Amino acid sequence: MLTNSRAAYHDHNHQRCIDAALDRARDLCSQQGARLTPLREAVLHLIWTSHRPLGAYAIADLLPAATGRKALAPTVYRSIEFLLDQGLIHRVASLNAYIGCPFPGSRHSELIMICRACGTAAELSADSVDSALSDVTRRAGFFMETQNIELLGLCPGCRGEGGPS
């Protein structure tokens, strides 16, 4: 089981998350011959500002303060497309928003747990889920290629405060 839930859901030194993500991104891009330009890196940095998915127009609003240059929708979406292609971020379809991938480069299933109270999202990849999915879909005659799993619920912190026991 591979997950960043520990960091996402508890107090932690988030600067280390950011630094690690940017380091991984630079490594991966140079390996792939992909160009992590200042703009793209700024967008990735913004997405990693927190563990909450960030929308494209929110990124556009935040970019000027981060880079000094203003950015309109197409510019932001081009960067997002690049980051998606490189596997550095994921799109959260149910929120129309984007979240940094904590383990890019490694093949992993895409399962996102979203807290409905605080909005924090953590990613999780587990063989047990993957094999259960492969198994039942194959029995249904379906050849699964990609998966998009978005779970809504309560994170450990928000569960304590007035949520279920």
Partner DNA sequence: GGCAAAAACAGTATAATGTAACAAAATGGG
Partner DNA sequence: CCCATTTTGTTACATTATACTGTTTTTGCC
Q: How far is the CB of 40 from DNA (least distance, A)?
A: 5
H or E stretch including 78? Answer: helix 73-85
21 touches Zn ion by CB under 5 A: no
Query: Could you tell me the strand order of the sheet in which 2-3 lies?
Result: 2-3, 121-125, 111-115
Q: Which residues of 5-21 are buried (b: 16+ CB within 10 A; e: fewer)?
A: bebbbeeeeeeebbeeb
Considering only 11-19, 50-58, 116-124, 143-151, which stretch makes contact with DNA by CB under 7 A? Answer: 50-58
Residues making up the chain, counted from first to last = 165
**Residues contacting Zn ion: total by CB under 5 A:** 5
Q: Is 69 helix (H, G, I), strand (E, B) or coil?
A: coil
Please name every residue paired with 113 in a beta bridge, in sequence order, or none if there are none.
Answer: 122, 151
Considering only 17-25, 64-72, 76-84, 122-130, which stretch makes contact with a copy of itself by CB under 8 A? Answer: 122-130
Nearer to a copy of itself, 70 or 73 (CB): 73
By rule CB under 8 A, what string of x and - marks binding of each residue 84-103 to a copy of itself?
---------xx---------
Q: State which amino acid sits at residue 94.
A: S
Q: How far is the CB of 55 from a copy of itself (least distance, A)?
A: 14
Q: List residues binding a copy of itself (CB under 8 A).
A: 1, 3, 5, 9, 93-94, 113, 115-116, 122, 124, 126, 128-129, 131-133, 135-137, 139-156, 159, 163-164
